[in-house]
Amino acid sequence: MVEDRGPGVRVPPPVMVAVALGLAWGLQKLLPVQLGPPAVALGGMVIFLAMGWVGWALLVLVRAGNDPRPDKPDTAFVAAGPYRFGRNPIYFGFLLFLAGVALSWGTLWAWLAVGATFLALDVLVVRKEEAYLRTRFPESYPAYAARTRRWL
């Protein structure tokens, strides 16, 4: 029997988010590009919503018996909680968090970080995870993927 090593994600998504934030902050210090006034209150609300959303998705995943790290194999297929609305609620929450930061900062670099992180997650994480889940749960994942959007 072949050992299940998970989807093969090499860079943890929270690291991608942290790197994007660090780059956006550093670029703003080097070459400031303000798009508008910072919307700190709105950004804070979006960040709070994002953290709650990610927390809910993690709770559902862990309660099902899965390790939330994307480099670990899944033991159970999950289509409940926020997974009813989109196949990647944790990553959606990360993007929502970055959007809250971008609103709070009001800078070009922060909004570019949202876009760059979306692309990195989609190409380097989500596609690998989807291929893995199709193989790991061939009886349930294809139908779930057909009826549930990748992103909200």
Q: Is residue 8 part of a domain?
A: no
Beta bridge partners of 34: 107
Q: What is the mean pLDDT of the chain?
A: 95
Terminal CA-to-CA distance of the chain, rounded, Å?
Answer: 36
**Whole domain around residue 60: which residue ranges?**
13-147
Distance in angstroms (rounded) separating the CA atoms of residues 16 and 53: 18
Residue-level pLDDT at 66: 95
**What pTM does this model have?**
0.94
Q: Is residue 1 part of a domain?
A: no
Average of per-residue pLDDT across 36-53: 97
Residue-level pLDDT at 63: 97
Domain count, the chain: 1
Distance in angstroms (rounded) separating the CA atoms of residues 120 and 57: 20
CA distances from 80 to 15, 72, 103, 143 (A): 26, 20, 30, 14
Q: What percent of the chain has pLDDT over 90?
A: 89
What phi and psi, each to the nearest 5 degrees, are found at residue 92?
A: -60, -40
Q: Is residue 59 part of a domain?
A: yes
Q: Is residue 3 part of a domain?
A: no
Residue-level pLDDT at 82: 98
Average of per-residue pLDDT across 77-86: 97
Residue-level pLDDT at 2: 55
Average of per-residue pLDDT across 53-62: 98
Q: Is residue 32 part of a domain?
A: yes
Work out the pLDDT band at 33, boundaries 50, 70, 90.
Answer: very high
Residue-level pLDDT at 85: 97
- CA 119: distance to chain centroid? 11
Q: Is residue 7 part of a domain?
A: no
pLDDT digits (tens, 9 = 90+) for 114-137: 999 999 999 999 999 999 999 999
Q: Is residue 4 part of a domain?
A: no
Which candidate, 112, 107, 114, 145, places its Cα nearest to that of 129?
145
Q: What percent of the chain has pLDDT over 70?
A: 99
Residue-level pLDDT at 152: 83
Q: Is residue 28 part of a domain?
A: yes
Residue-level pLDDT at 6: 84
